[in-house]
Chains A and B, each alone.
Chain A
């Protein structure tokens, strides 16, 4: 089965700095990679996703990059703000496995004002 590893587990940055979270996956059949943000006591919410036919995707301050050869993908947040503080989960899924998502272990991001 798929194995998704996520690093770091905790990350603290100063407001305005950039934050990068990295995930690796093991199954080359994985072709869809979403990122979820979960604030304390709330549900995971999709913030950005990327499919295997694309190398990079941006949405305002958030970007995701995918390296299929190395089997890793990363979340980049620029100009961080205190409201970016949350737990971020990466995930991988594949058409061949139905819609079974394999989640990373999460990164707790703290943006220090």
Chain B
């Protein structure tokens, strides 16, 4: 089973709102990721958590704040976003940090108005 579940599937938020995206996996994977994807573009890495610790932050603006409460959960807190942040946000996980396939969740479609 390679299931990574994300909620919500769709989110519309205003530029002053605070919202969160949630991701869960029960495969025992120890690395979890947030990617951002614009239409017809490849996924862009935002954050990597390895063993529940933030290991990579790709210079993402502070209006995006990741959180890893435990080895199965990953959140992305959103605050004061801009319309250009509208995109598909993909969570992914992999068995360990190095040299393994990453499995993507269904994604959360975010629209900032």
Contacts and interface: CB of A to CB of B under 8 A. Distances in A.
A95 B98 contact: yes
A32 B99 contact: yes
B101 A106 contact: no
Contact of B101 (A43, A46, A104, A108): A46
Contacts of A43: 90, 104-107
B69 interface: no
Contact size range, A: 20 to 34
Contacts of B96: 99
Given A98-B55, A101-B45, A106-B42, A93 B99 contact: yes
Max chain A Cβ within 10 angstroms of own Cβ: one of B94, B103, B104: B104
B104 A44 contact: yes
Max chain A Cβ within 10 angstroms of own Cβ: one of B40, B48, B98, B104: B98
Given A34-B101, A43-B90, A98 B48 contact: yes
B34 to A, nearest CB: 13
Contact of A99 (B41, B94, B106): B94
B48 A100 contact: yes
A20 B101 CA distance: 22
Given A43-B90, A43-B107, A44-B90, A99 B102 contact: yes
Contacts of A87: 40
Nearest to B104: A43
Contacts of B50: 98
A106 B102 contact: no
B69 to A, nearest CB: 21
Given A43-B104, A43-B105, A93-B99, A99 B31 contact: yes
B97 A103 contact: no
B99 A46 contact: no
Contacts of A32: 99-100
Given A44-B43, A46-B103, A105-B42, 10 more contacts: A43-B107, A44-B90, A46-B101, A89-B43, A95-B98, A95-B99, A99-B31, A99-B100, A99-B102, A103-B42
